[in-house]
Amino acid sequence: MKFSALYRGGLFAATLTLSPLVLGADPVLRVTVKGVDEALSKNILAHLGTLPENEVQRRAFLFNVDDSVTAALQSVGYYHGELTPTLERPEKGPWQLTLDVAAGEPTRIDWVDIRFHGDMLHDPSFSRWLDGVSLKPGDVLNHGKYESVKAELGALALSRGYFDGSYAKSEIRVNRDENRATISLHFNSGERYRFGTVTFEGSTLKDGFLDKLIPFDEESPYATRRLSTFNSQLQETGYFRSIKVLPQIDKASDGQVPVRVEVENRPDHSIELGLGADIGSSSDSAFEPRVRVTWRTPQINRHGHSQETSLEWSPDRPKFLTTYTIPLTHPLDDQLKIRLGLLRDKYGVTQVYVPEELDFANTGQLESSKQLIGALRQQTLESGWLMGYSVDFIREAYTQSEIDYDPLFLLGGFSLSSTVRGDASLDPKWGYRHSYSLDYADPSLGSDTRLTRIQAKFKWIDTFFDKHRIVARADFGLNLVSDSDLALVPPSLRYFAGGDQSIRGYAYQELGPYFEYTNSDGVTAREVVGGRYLAVGSVEYQYYLTPTWRLGSFVDAGNAFDKDQFEPVVSVGGGIHWISPIGPIKFDVGVGLNETETLERSWRIHLTMGSEL
């Protein structure tokens, strides 16, 4: 079926044509509506229904035209409409029916009488609903809006547990002579039902383990929203492949509704593969692929223990990290994580002076091998903040300025973070996150030097006018350590800049303060060794071409620095992002605008995946 409308002098001419169902067949009737606006024309055509496909159907269609147009006009408040039909019947081709409609004066709402009875009188949800009702005195009567409001009130009552609710009165009275209408909606909710017992089916966890996820007490007032929260918390545990939270209204007794939860466990093991790449013209101009394999066991035993092991490979940067999670006083809000890791990484850039070229040439990077054993307890506070405290045993081996180091650290940590999201999607329209952490190591506790490490990170997202999105972030870091012990702070605890989560246009962790020395060959050399301080910020503008594709442009700025070295760098760039079912996949190109003492201007391609919050 095809609909078209032509605007002429404040009125619309609307045409409805039957599209042939059989290739080569001709329509038997065309209908044109004139004299009314586009919205009313569409309503009339909708009431007329599907156009006829043969001559028998055409006769029945024409017989009902007058009643259909009258019903269409009255449904939106026009009770004095006039119809002048014109029918053209050519010997060949479809007949042409032209409906010239004069809608007349509309009927307006004189007053709206909405009354509540029963327990709902003490429920503030209905007062809030009443404030937003779209039926107002003076509006043109619209039966569709009336039915919508009536359905909304009934649905709200069901969602709040008023299962015996009904309308004592629901009517529209129309005075056609005066074009006036009154609306009456009197709803009696009866008593509000309460939650009954909750039973679980399909779970292999110990009895009572999941009870702490129930966001309501037995005999508390029923609310569908609480069941949705319950379902979400069960999903967050990661134990289950499917979850059904079913209120058994048909089994309600004594005003209580029992709840049955049906779950199906995830597979015992899962393997996830991730791919990435980094390429550009900075200190390491080679193509650098990244491959990550993650092995998860969502439920190891009936106590809800789980593990996640990831193995990441990239040239000279292999990483192995396994985390064993033990729920403590709550399956989600209180967890102990035991971590074990072996990680190799590269930082900065190492250079030697070449007299023939009167310049420095790259010879490599600062490399380290790190062993990690740690424990972290994370608790979600009533305010929504995530609090963590940890103890990490770190041994890291590296060679700096041709001197071998192998410091040992016992690092105690404390962290606070909060994330607020406008929606639960992987690409939220708005939200923000801020996190703060404090780590401390002391020789009296077994560390090779005293170190205080402070970090703060911020991120903010907002969307304007549906298609315009802003993403801003800022990262700050501070290391308090004596000058004489600075070299004993391992590279993984220092600050570097560069990479897709820092300053795009430069390679991962290649920016920072450098140290100049004479190597064993008697040649002047220098090495980017990282800094005590970090200050990096970014602003990105994103424009949605479609709901699943967008363009981005960004400015990144800042650097890692030390007391006597601060070289701020700026990069700009842009890219295209695909909002995939598993999260945004971003292809960005960054261009560095600054040359530093150790780096020329560079560009990098960054391919990243994952939510920005």
Tens of pLDDT, residue by residue over 346-370, are: 898 899 989 888 888 888 889 999 9
**Per-residue model confidence (pLDDT) at position 285:** 56
Give the model's confidence band at 5: pLDDT under 50 very low, under 70 low, under 90 confident, else very high.
very low
Query: What DSSP character marks residue 492?
Result: G
Q: Is 385 exposed, middle or buried (0-12, 13-18, 19+ CB in 10 A)?
A: middle
**Per-residue model confidence (pLDDT) at position 375:** 97
Q: Report phi then psi at 560, rounded to 5.
A: -90, 145
Q: Which residue has the tokens 């304007």?
A: 464
Tell me: pLDDT of 9 over 60. no
Q: Tell me the average pLDDT across 136-160.
A: 94
**Tokens standing for 370?**
């790190």
**Per-residue model confidence (pLDDT) at position 284:** 58
Q: Tell me the average pLDDT across 179-192.
A: 95
Tally of CB atoms within 10 A around 207: 9
Tell me: pLDDT of 13 over 50. no
User: Per residue in 329-360, is it b (16+ CB within 10 Å) or e — as a string?
Assistant: eebebebebebebebebbbbbbbbbeeeeeeb
Sequence-distant (6+) residues with CB within 8 A of 177 are none
CA distances from 325 to 238, 296, 530, 555, 570 (A): 12, 11, 33, 38, 40
Q: Say how far apart CA 511 and CA 496 lie, in whole Å.
A: 6
**Per-residue model confidence (pLDDT) at position 595:** 85
Tell me: pLDDT of 494 over 80. yes
Q: Report phi then psi at 507, rounded to 5.
A: -70, 165
Question: CB of 468 within 8 A of CB of 495?
Answer: no
Tally of CB atoms within 10 A around 165: 23
Q: Alpha-carbon dihedral of residues 206, 210, 216, 221, nearest 10 degrees? A: -70
Give the model's confidence band at 30: pLDDT under 50 very low, under 70 low, under 90 confident, else very high.
very high
Tally of CB atoms within 10 A around 161: 27
Q: Alpha-carbon dihedral of residues 307, 308, 309, 310, nearest 10 degrees? A: 180
Q: Which residue has the higher pLDDT, 601 or 6?
A: 601
Share of the chain above pLDDT 70, in %: 94
Short-list 210, 165, 181, CA closest to 107 = 181
Question: CB of 454 within 8 A of CB of 424?
Answer: no
Sequence-distant (6+) residues with CB within 8 A of 97 are 29, 30, 31, 32, 62, 65, 85, 86, 87, 88
Q: Which residue has the higher pLDDT, 459 or 606?
A: 459
CA distances from 235 to 68, 238, 263 (A): 50, 6, 10
Short-list 245, 113, 125, CA closest to 189 = 125
Give the model's confidence band at 278: pLDDT under 50 very low, under 70 low, under 90 confident, else very high.
low
Length of the chain (residues):
613
**Tokens standing for 256?**
């209580």
Q: Tell me the average pLDDT across 563-567.
A: 82
